Chains A and B, each alone.
Chain A
Amino acid sequence: MTRGTRRILSVLLAATVSLCILFPPAAPAARDVAAELRKERGRLLQMKEREEKTVQELTEALRMEKRSKGRVGELQEQLKRQRSLLSRIDRKVSALNERLEGTEKAVRKLEAAHGQARTALQRAEVAAFAGQRTGAGDPLHPSARERERHFMRAYLAADAEGVDRITRAQERKAEELSGLERQVAVTEKKMAREKKVGDTLLSRQEEERRRLADIEREKKRKEKELKSLRAKIVRMESVVSRVERQVKERERRAKKWMAPGSAAREPAEAPRRFASLSGGLSAPLAGKVVTRFGRQHDTTFDVTIENRGVEIEAPSGASVKSVGQGEVAFAGAVSGFGNVLIVQHGGGLFSVYGRLETFLVKQGEAVKKGTVVGRLPGSPSGKSVLYLELRAGGTAIDPTSAIPLDS
């Protein structure tokens, strides 16, 4: 739940609770108003719950959207790397195929050369041993014949060596060819595997994109719903304000009737009224004001909201003290606000403490200024926030105007 939403809820809650406490049903007309107020309060509570739920869902949608976008980005990066890898493998396969083709040509050439060399060797052997030479059988030149025989042996040896050399080269090329074929097979298998991985990544990306689109649709729907709820809440607030005005009018009439001539106190005098309390006012705890009173712009939802109180950031588990002397008018859980405690200071002055973890006083118990009324909850960050609202005559006033708070 965002901070702005909480503020809106707090205002509504405080108004509702205050009205409930301030105006007990004393007469039939008052009972009608109280009934109407209860009815409106019930509707407001429902709206709050719905809004809180919607905000939670929206927040969840935003988180999921962010996570999904992150995943899409990661998938895109992986796909890019995968495409680069596939491209490299493809180039390697092309190079291997070229080498394979060249080696196959060389093998064919060697086979042809081997055949020719063997044929030549066989014919030379026939020529050598069948006496197919010019002047064969000439016994008058024995030295020449001896030399020719020697050279024929050298010729045959050279031819045989040539055949052996070609055979060895052929075997080497065949081995190289076999190795290249194995390499090509392995690389193609790897490429197929990587393509499969790429396809999987693509499908995952598509799936993630679809999920993201769903999340975005859900987000838009929730935003619309939230907007609608807020509009309703605003309308509800106007209803409550009208009822409050009626109550104030009635109170004014009653006081006029009880103390004729007393002048009506203006809302602008509210801080002075709080200051005139017995013993004065003090800060509920030491902390820093992180949310100010009045109209504030919420950047998350891009809306302007009306804050009826302030939020004070303090260490987790800090003690919350009563700002002045009075009586505990309400201590209980309020949806969207956690544990809420209201102290009635008399003269239409109230102080409201929200987001407490525990109450240290009970409803109806008198408290003095500085009495510890509750504690803030613990938090992993070590910081918690206290909601503080001051109301004078049904109107929220800026707590920082009546109490010295560190801003």
Chain B
Amino acid sequence: MSERPSLWWIDWRLSRGPLVRETIGRFLFFCLLGFALLSLLLSGGVSRILADRFAITAVLRAEVPSAEGEGLARKAAALPPVRSATYRDPEAAWKEFLRAYPGLDPLRGAGENPLPGYIEIRIRPDRLTGEDVDFVASALRSVPLVEHVLAGEEWLPRLLRAGRLASWACWGIFGGFLAAFFLVGRLQERARAVALAGDFAFLAERGVPAGRLAFLRVAGAAISGFLLAAAGTAAGGGALFLFLRKFPFLEGGIGPPSDLLLPRTVAAAALFSCGAALLSAAASLLGWRAARPGRK
């Protein structure tokens, strides 16, 4: 009984050196893509940056005492779209104003503080939409203690539109990198198939079906692609975690490191790995077909 050799990982057996280089390259690329993917997932594109810049200001009436202002801030913080609501009394408002306009301090002399207290309301990044902002602003306007609500009605739609465009651009870039990964992978697969064409012809002459050979190579590429994507994403996530810990000010734009362990983040990373496996398999198949005799 003749022993039939296993066709799994045939490329590893036939061309170990180039395959090691390709694997290292793909891992590093997946690390980069994983870092970018997780950053995009955490920041929601530029939503977190916009949410950090945008705030609704509820200007209170002059006679509202601090206790009532703080109570109103707590109520505002309980609204679903609201991330935080901070009350600032007239004294704090006056100091902030004078910090912005330091030259005005000596002008006023002994005059009393003309500014009232206010509540600064920040929206959750994932709820930073025109509807949610309007909802919060309307809720605040209905409160008798509030004299005026500043919600950027004039410029917020433009800002949100710009934010959406920026997010799409980010995801587009990410998609471009994926496409580049696919094209590069296809070229690598084709080149390897051409290089191993003699070996594959030899196997065919001994009765190994070409289809089986191609299938096993695609399956091997998918498994290796999934594992590499998962490992690269994990490594990228780790790097992002360390990066955010080292530079906390970036949390305002990206998000807290703890969000990396959220199930939705992990699920997104797993989905990305699956996608990477599919892309690897497709690149392998297309490379195989491109390397068949009679094709360029």
The 10 A-B residue pairs with the shortest CB-CB distance in the complex, in nearest-first order = A158-B114, A120-B107, A143-B55, A147-B57, A133-B101, A151-B97, A148-B100, A146-B150, A133-B100, A151-B115
Q: Are A148 and B97 in contact (CB under 8 A)?
A: yes
Neighbouring B residues of A132 by C-beta, 8 Å: 101, 103
- Among B104, B108, B115, B155, point to the contact of A142 (Cβ < 8 A): B155
Q: Which residues of chain A from 151 to 194 have a CB within 8 Å of any chain B CB? A: 151-152, 154-155, 157-159, 162
Evaluate whether A134 and B53 lie within 8 angstroms (CB atoms) in the complex, with A143-B150, A155-B114 already known.
no
Q: Which residues of chain B from 192 to 237 have a CB within 8 Å of any chain A CB? A: none
Per-residue CB contact flags for chain B residues 27-60 toward chain A (1 = under 8 Å, else 0) read 0000000000000000000000000011111010
Q: Are B56 and A143 in contact (CB under 8 A)?
A: yes
Q: Are B53 and A142 in contact (CB under 8 A)?
A: yes
26 contacts between A and B (CB under 8 A): A116-B109, A120-B108, A123-B103, A123-B107, A134-B101, A134-B102, A135-B100, A143-B53, A143-B54, A143-B55, A143-B150, A143-B152, A146-B57, A147-B59, A148-B97, A148-B100, A148-B101, A150-B59, A151-B97, A152-B97, A155-B104, A155-B114, A155-B115, A157-B114, A158-B114, A162-B111
Q: Are A141 and B150 in contact (CB under 8 A)?
A: no
Whether a CB of chain B sits under 8 angstroms from the CB of A124 is yes
Q: Which residues of chain B from 42 to 88 have a CB within 8 Å of any chain A CB? A: 53-57, 59
Neighbouring A residues of B115 by C-beta, 8 Å: 151, 154-155
Whether a CB of chain A sits under 8 angstroms from the CB of B161 is no
- Among A141, A142, A155, point to the contact of B97 (Cβ < 8 A): A155
Q: How many angstroms between the C-alpha atoms of A148 and B150 in the bound complex?
A: 11
Evaluate whether A143 and B101 lie within 8 angstroms (CB atoms) in the complex, with A120-B109, A123-B107, A150-B148 already known.
no
State the majority secondary structure of interface residues on B. Answer: mixed
Q: How many angstroms between the C-alpha atoms of A127 and B159 in the bound complex?
A: 27
Evaluate whether A127 and B104 lie within 8 angstroms (CB atoms) in the complex, with A146-B57, A154-B114 already known.
yes
Neighbouring B residues of A128 by C-beta, 8 Å: 101
Q: How large is the interface on A (under 10, 10 to 19, 20 to 34, 35 or more residues)?
A: 20 to 34
Whether a CB of chain A sits under 8 angstroms from the CB of B289 is no
Whether a CB of chain A sits under 8 angstroms from the CB of B241 is no
Per-residue CB contact flags for chain B residues 155-178 toward chain A (1 = under 8 Å, else 0) read 100010000000000000000000
Interface centre among B53, B59, B107, B120, by most chain A C-beta atoms within 10 angstroms, is B107
Nearest-Cβ distance from residue B90 to partner chain A, whole angstroms: 10
Neighbouring B residues of A144 by C-beta, 8 Å: 55
Q: How many angstroms between the C-alpha atoms of A119 and B111 in the bound complex?
A: 14
Neighbouring A residues of B93 by C-beta, 8 Å: 151
Per-residue CB contact flags for chain B residues 98-125 toward chain A (1 = under 8 Å, else 0) read 0111111001110100111010100000
In chain A, what residue has the closest Cβ to B97?
Answer: A151
Q: How many angstroms between the C-alpha atoms of A133 and B57 in the bound complex?
A: 20
Interface centre among B55, B99, B100, B115, by most chain A C-beta atoms within 10 angstroms, is B100
Q: How many angstroms between the C-alpha atoms of A132 and B116 in the bound complex?
A: 22
In chain A, what residue has the closest Cβ to B62?
Answer: A154
Neighbouring B residues of A134 by C-beta, 8 Å: 99-102
State the majority secondary structure of interface residues on A. Answer: helix
Whether a CB of chain B sits under 8 angstroms from the CB of A263 is no
- Among A120, A146, A157, point to the contact of B152 (Cβ < 8 A): A146
In chain B, what residue has the closest Cβ to A156?
Answer: B114
Neighbouring A residues of B99 by C-beta, 8 Å: 134
Whether a CB of chain B sits under 8 angstroms from the CB of A140 is yes
Neighbouring B residues of A148 by C-beta, 8 Å: 97, 100-101
Nearest-Cβ distance from residue B36 to partner chain A, whole angstroms: 23
Evaluate whether A150 and B97 lie within 8 angstroms (CB atoms) in the complex, with A143-B53, A143-B56, A158-B114 already known.
no
Neighbouring B residues of A133 by C-beta, 8 Å: 100-101
Neighbouring A residues of B100 by C-beta, 8 Å: 133-135, 148
Nearest-Cβ distance from residue B3 to partner chain A, whole angstroms: 70
A119-B107, A143-B53, A158-B114 known, 14 other contacts, Cβ within 8 Å: A116-B109, A120-B109, A127-B101, A141-B53, A142-B53, A142-B54, A143-B57, A143-B120, A147-B57, A147-B150, A151-B115, A152-B97, A152-B101, A159-B108
Q: How many angstroms between the C-alpha atoms of A119 and B108 in the bound complex?
A: 10
Q: How many angstroms between the C-alpha atoms of A160 and B102 in the bound complex?
A: 20
Nearest-Cβ distance from residue B232 to partner chain A, whole angstroms: 33
Neighbouring A residues of B111 by C-beta, 8 Å: 158-159, 162
Nearest-Cβ distance from residue B68 to partner chain A, whole angstroms: 20
Q: Which residues of chain A from 309 to 347 have a CB within 8 Å of any chain B CB? A: none
Q: How many angstroms between the C-alpha atoms of A142 and B54 in the bound complex?
A: 7
Neighbouring A residues of B108 by C-beta, 8 Å: 120, 159
Q: How many angstroms between the C-alpha atoms of A142 and B55 in the bound complex?
A: 9
Q: How many angstroms between the C-alpha atoms of A134 and B107 in the bound complex?
A: 17
Nearest-Cβ distance from residue B101 to partner chain A, whole angstroms: 5
Neighbouring B residues of A154 by C-beta, 8 Å: 114-116
In chain B, what residue has the closest Cβ to A158?
Answer: B114
Nearest-Cβ distance from residue A149 to partner chain B, whole angstroms: 9
Q: How many angstroms between the C-alpha atoms of A159 and B118 in the bound complex?
A: 20
Nearest-Cβ distance from residue B246 to partner chain A, whole angstroms: 23
Q: Are A127 and B150 in contact (CB under 8 A)?
A: no
In chain B, what residue has the closest Cβ to A120?
Answer: B107
Neighbouring B residues of A123 by C-beta, 8 Å: 103-104, 107
Neighbouring B residues of A141 by C-beta, 8 Å: 53
Neighbouring A residues of B53 by C-beta, 8 Å: 140-143
Interface centre among A132, A135, A144, by most chain B C-beta atoms within 10 angstroms, is A144
Q: How many angstroms between the C-alpha atoms of A262 and B207 in the bound complex?
A: 233
Evaluate whether A147 and B118 lie within 8 angstroms (CB atoms) in the complex, with A116-B109, A141-B53 already known.
yes
Per-residue CB contact flags for chain A residues 100-120 toward chain B (1 = under 8 Å, else 0) read 000000000000000010011
Q: How many angstroms between the C-alpha atoms of A227 and B294 in the bound complex?
A: 186
In chain A, what residue has the closest Cβ to B108?
Answer: A120
Q: How many angstroms between the C-alpha atoms of A98 and B117 in the bound complex?
A: 45
Q: Which residues of chain B from 224 to 261 have a CB within 8 Å of any chain A CB? A: none
Q: How many angstroms between the C-alpha atoms of A135 and B55 in the bound complex?
A: 18
Neighbouring B residues of A162 by C-beta, 8 Å: 111
Per-residue CB contact flags for chain A residues 376-400 toward chain B (1 = under 8 Å, else 0) read 0000000000000000000000000
Nearest-Cβ distance from residue A130 to partner chain B, whole angstroms: 11
